[in-house]
Structure formats: C-alpha cells, structure tokens
C-alpha cells in the first residue's frame, strides 16, 4: 500500500495467517469482544471504528486475542498491536515517510542505509532479546505490546491503550471454581477460533500443555494430535505418552539425536529460520523447530493445522518469582537468572543492569517484597514473554501453520494477575487448580519431573559470592575458541566478527554449541551487520 507517497507499507508475512485488506487498511489474527469473534474484515473494521472514536482506548482494550492491524484513516496511519505483540509490526520514519513491515528483512530493505544500534547490543547479547519496541537498528522500532502508533503530517506518536496493572486481592476458597468458569469460556473461544481444523499440541511433561490437552478433551474435540520430542528415555516423554493415552489423543514422539540435528544444520533452512524469527529484536527459538520440521517433512499433521502451545500458564501462576528478593538484590537476582547467555565486559554489564533497574522501577516502586515480585512479573509479561517466549510461534509460521494462545486469554491473565504475587509464588495455587479441576478428573494427575540439580552448580550458588562466580565464568569462557563445526561457515564468520568487533572484544561465548542461545545471538548480529554494510 502506498498512500500519497508518505507511507511505505509492505506486509509480506502471510505464512500461517494471512493479511486481510479492507480499503487501504490491513489486519491479521483474531480477537474476541466478550464471546464474539472478530476476524478478517470484521476485525479491521472494528479497529478503524476504534481509532475514529473518542473511546478508542476502551474499544481496543476490549479486544481479546492475537492480532495486528494497520488502519489507514484519512491522512493518518495507525499501527495496532495486541496485548502480547504476537504479530510484529516494524516501523521507521525516514525523510517524513513512514516505512512499515511485518518482517525484519522487509524493513531492512525498505529503509535507506540501515545502521546497527550499538547501544542495544549488550542487552541483546546478554539475554537474547530486547524490551518494549526496541530493535537492533537505529531509529527503527516495533509496535510495543498493547500499543498504538499513529503517524500523520510527519508526526509520530506511540501510546499504550491499556494498562495491565491490577488491584490485588487474596484468592479465597472459591478461587478454583471461579477460575474453572473462566477456563470454560476460554475453551469455547478456542473452539471458535479453530474453525474445526486439526489442533496440534506440543505436549511436554509440564502442566501448561497438559491443561491445553484437557481443555480440548473437555470440549469434545476429536481432531487433536499431540507431539513430544527429546530422548525416548526422557521422563518427560514418558509423561507425555501417559497423558496422550489417558485422553485418547494420538501422540507423535520425535527423537532428537545429534546426528539428526547436525544433518539439518548442514542445510540452509536453520539460518533462514533464524533470520525469519528474529524481527530485529530477538534470537529465534530452536526449541520446537526440529519437531515442527519433522512433522512437516513427514506430513504428520494437516496443512491447515492450528498449533496450540501452553504459553504461559506457569508465568501467570507464579513460577518466575525469584526467592529471597528484596529491593537491594532484585537487579542482581534478575540479571543472574535471565541475562546469562554471554558474559559481558564489566562496563557493558553495568549498562545492562542500569537499564534493567530502570525497567523494573518503572513497573513498581520496589519498596516491599510484593513490589519486587510485581516488578519481575510485569517485566516478564511486558518484555520477556512477547519478545522471546511468544516469539517462538514463528517456528509454526515458518512452516506455514496457524497457532492460538488460549492461556494468554485476557480473562485468564487478568484473573491470575489480580492475585497477590506472594500468594502465587512457587505456583502452588496454579498447581492446585489444574490438578483439582482437570488433571484428577481426566486421570492425568502425574507430577512433572523436576530437572536434576547439579552438585557443582548448587555448590557455586550456595557458597560463592556473585563477584567470585563472575570471575569463574569469565575465566572458563576464556577457553572458548570462537569456532563451530566446519560445515557452518557463517557461524564461524560470526564468531570472528564478534571477537574483533570493537567494544565487544571482551564478550565471552557460553557455550560453543551451534544451536545455543550464544551462537544464535552471534549469527543474528553478524547477519544484520553484513546487511547494513551493503551499498
């Protein structure tokens, strides 16, 4: 779409979910208002009506789903993202022209002389993704979650249309019943958005994917296929088998071996996916990539299947609260947990911690333990979940499949978010709910297997100071040879690039495996740098 030469809008990604055009406006995805489903033309028309209304924010806040809309009204353009930014919209203004795309490559090719944003690279290297609408390019951004970007007469504005801060309450004895009522409505919404298509569930040994499977069973859905992956002897694989068998769903078990993984890496498909799934602000997930690759290659699921992962009931339920938090140690604890994929030099580490402290402080006053819990929770749902965890759905899109995220239903997320964080900590409340209302009634009440603890790691965490651990990590990282397998020349080039790249020469890469977060972050930076150097 090109309107009066002030807008350059290029929407190319219709893999899994197509863009729908209404006049000079576009939309994709789905949303409910109450229990009424808005898709295609109806979704776009609703958003056009909203941006023209004095009740714009209220109308947009009522949209419950996964969508992106580019609404052209008069001489203005509005870019609208859902509450978790499930579909990326990238934008940049050059010489009073708004460039918009739904892929990293699209915006790179649209704007003249793109440049890396070196200020954001340390944050990206340390955790593998950025925050809000930040990207790895200068003056190029993503529409943040729950936000609307408006552009008219050369003026750009970014506004949030809703707040996800909730008045807190204590969950009473009737909480499970109230939550079950919410989930019942979620199930109906999942049935509506699936339109009778095959539902594919990535089934692990955990509780979120198991809840999805039970929801499908309770709805009477029969066209359901599950898959699990990993070693055949894995305890998680065994639990997945038991769950699928008890519910009567077919299960595909995909064994990931080193030989199979290396075979895929010899092709260019992984590198193409890493570009596709990066969106200029994250490393693409490889966790599900192998499994979806195998399902697609072997034609084990329908071409129009809807993948339904369990993102992210455990977060809502309280699994990411850090024990022993206080206003004094919050930044250190959050950094140690989430910012460990590369060891930064001290100067860059300090900059990242300063940015993290500001982000956490923006979400909460950080006076009490409850404040600290809330800050970490809000950082997760505003930064980590949309930019990294939910971005994993690009693996489904890459192979042309649709997806749905029922556990990020507004009603479900609001219910859990309104409970005091300290009551949710450790996921006890969430675990009690899923067992009482779903797992026990459907005979899938198997406890998940906790990963084995390393004696060495436990010793390090218990007896060494943070400074000692930092020095040990950096010393061990010094043995890294910055090289990968010979059949991955681009990753070799990436490792040399980062080693010789100015202020990042002190960055240490942990570990050296080609599918690690560290390797993916290197590859993506190298790729963007090479692109930016083009004439």
CA angle 512, 518, 522 (to 5 degrees): 105
CA angle 316, 318, 323 (to 5 degrees): 155
Domain membership flag for residue 168? no
Local structure of 522: helix, strand or coil: helix
**pLDDT, tens digit (0-9, with 9 covering 90-100), for 129-176:** 999 899 999 999 999 999 999 999 889 999 999 988 889 999 999 999
What pTM was computed for the model? 0.90
pLDDT score for 519? 74
Token readout for 274 is 């890493």
Q: Buried b vs exposed e over 219-230: b needs ≥16 C-beta within 10 Å?
A: bebeebbbbbbb
CA angle 388, 431, 190 (to 5 degrees): 60
124 and 236 fall within a common domain: no
Cα–Cα distances (Å) from 17 to 71, 229, 355, 400, in that order, read 18, 25, 35, 8
Residue bearing tokens 């793109």: 114
155 and 232 fall within a common domain: no
88 and 109 fall within a common domain: yes
141 and 185 fall within a common domain: no
228 and 113 fall within a common domain: no
154 and 289 fall within a common domain: no
The answer to whether 446 touches 239, Cβ cutoff 8 Å, is yes
Give me the mean pLDDT over the 46-62 stretch: 97
Domain membership flag for residue 287? yes
pLDDT score for 508? 45
Q: Buried b vs exposed e over 419-428: b needs ≥16 C-beta within 10 Å?
A: bebbbbbebe
The answer to whether 125 touches 104, Cβ cutoff 8 Å, is no
To the nearest whole percent, how much of the chain has pLDDT over 70?
86
Residue 482 domain boundaries: 452-517
pLDDT score for 303? 96
**pLDDT, tens digit (0-9, with 9 covering 90-100), for 96-115:** 899 999 999 999 999 888 99
- Angular region, 492: left φ>0, alpha ψ -120 to 50, beta rest: alpha
pLDDT score for 423? 95
Instruction: Report residue 461's pLDDT band, with 50, 70 and 90 as the boundaries.
Output: low
130 and 41 fall within a common domain: yes
pLDDT score for 243? 97
Provide φ and ψ at 92, rounded to 5°.
Answer: -155, 145
pLDDT score for 484? 46
Token readout for 257 is 């071996």
Domain count within the chain:
3
190 and 281 fall within a common domain: yes
Beta bridge partners of 137: 116
**pLDDT, tens digit (0-9, with 9 covering 90-100), for 373-423:** 999 999 999 999 999 999 999 999 999 999 999 999 999 999 999 999 999
Task: Indicate which CATH number applies to the domain containing 138.
Answer: 3.60.20.10
Task: Indicate which CATH number applies to the domain containing 191.
Answer: 3.40.50.620
Cα–Cα distances (Å) from 51 to 7, 56, 143, 498, in that order, read 18, 5, 16, 44
Which of 359, 450, 457 has its CA nearest to residue 127?
359
Hey, CA dihedral for 474, 480, 482, 488, is it positive or negative? negative
Domain membership flag for residue 291? yes
C-alpha atoms less than 13 angstroms from C-alpha of 301 in its C-beta half-sphere: 29
Domain membership flag for residue 483? yes
Give me the mean pLDDT over the 207-228 stretch: 96
Cα–Cα distances (Å) from 365 to 239, 291, 360, in that order, read 42, 43, 9
150 and 40 fall within a common domain: yes
**pLDDT, tens digit (0-9, with 9 covering 90-100), for 423-435:** 999 999 999 999 9
Specify the higher pLDDT residue, 268 or 304: 304
pLDDT reading at 465 higher than 60 = no
């Amino acid at each position: 779409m090109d309107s009066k030469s002030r807008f350059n809008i290029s929407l190319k990604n219709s893999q899994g979910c197509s863009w729908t055009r209404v006049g000079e406006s576009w939309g994709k995805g789905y949303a409910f208002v109450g229990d009424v489903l808005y898709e295609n033309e109806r979704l776009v028309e609703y958003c056009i009506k909203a941006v023209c209304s004095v009740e714009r924010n209220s109308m947009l806040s009522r949209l419950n789903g996964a969508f992106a809309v580019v609404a052209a009204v008069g001489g203005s353009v509005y870019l609208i993202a859902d509450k978790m930014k499930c579909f990326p919209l990238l934008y940049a203004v050059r010489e009073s022209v708004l460039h918009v795309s739904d892929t990293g490559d699209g915006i790179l090719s649209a704007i003249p002389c793109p440049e890396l944003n070196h200020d954001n690279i340390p944050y990206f290297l340390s955790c593998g993704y950025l925050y809000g609408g930040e990207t790895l390019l200068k003056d190029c951004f993503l529409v943040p979650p729950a936000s609307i970007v408006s552009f008219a007469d050369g003026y750009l504005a970014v506004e949030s249309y809703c707040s996800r801060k909730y008045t807190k309450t204590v969950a009473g004895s009737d909480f499970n019943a109230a939550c079950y009522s919410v989930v019942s409505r979620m199930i109906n919404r999942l049935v509506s958005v699936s339109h009778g298509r095959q539902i594919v569930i990535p089934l692990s040994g955990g509780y979120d994917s198991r809840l999805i499977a039970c929801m499908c069973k309770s709805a009477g859905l029969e066209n359901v296929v599950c898959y699990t992956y990993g070693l055949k002897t894995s305890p998680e694989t065994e639990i997945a088998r038991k769950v699928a068998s008890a519910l009567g769903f077919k299960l595909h078990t995909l064994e990931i071996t080193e030989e199979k993984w290396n075979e895929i890496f010899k092709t260019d498909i992984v590198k193409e996916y890493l570009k596709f799934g990066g969106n200029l602000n994250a490393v693409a997930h490889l966790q599900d990539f192998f499994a979806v690759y195998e399902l697609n290659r072997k034609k084990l699921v329908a071409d129009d299947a809807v993948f339904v992962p369990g993102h992210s009931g455990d977060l809502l339920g309280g699994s990411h609260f850090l024990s022993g938090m206080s206003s004094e140690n919050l930044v250190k604890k959050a950094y140690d947990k989430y910012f460990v994929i590369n060891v930064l030099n001290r100067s860059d580490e300090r900059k990242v911690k300063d940015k993290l402290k500001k982000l956490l402080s923006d979400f909460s006053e950080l006076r009490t333990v409850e404040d600290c819990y809330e800050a970490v929770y809000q950082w997760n749902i505003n930064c980590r979940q949309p930019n990294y965890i939910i971005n994993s759905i690009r693996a489904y899109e890459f192979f042309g499949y649709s997806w749905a995220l029922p556990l990020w239903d507004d009603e479900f997320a609001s219910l859990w978010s309104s409970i005091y964080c300290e009551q949710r900590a450790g996921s006890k409340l969430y675990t009690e709910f899923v067992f009482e209302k779903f797992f026990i009634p459907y005979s899938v009440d198997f406890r998940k297997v906790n990963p084995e603890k390393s004696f060495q790691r436990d010793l390090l965490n218990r007896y060494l100071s943070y400074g000692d651990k930092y020095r040990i990590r950096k010393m061990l990282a010094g043995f890294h040879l910055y090289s990968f397998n010979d059949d991955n020349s681009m990753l070799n080039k990436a490792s040399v690039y980062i080693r010789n790249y100015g202020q990042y020469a002190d960055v240490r890469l942990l570990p050296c495996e080609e599918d690690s977060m560290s390797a993916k972050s290197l590859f993506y930076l190298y790729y963007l740098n090479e692109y930016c150097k083009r004439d």
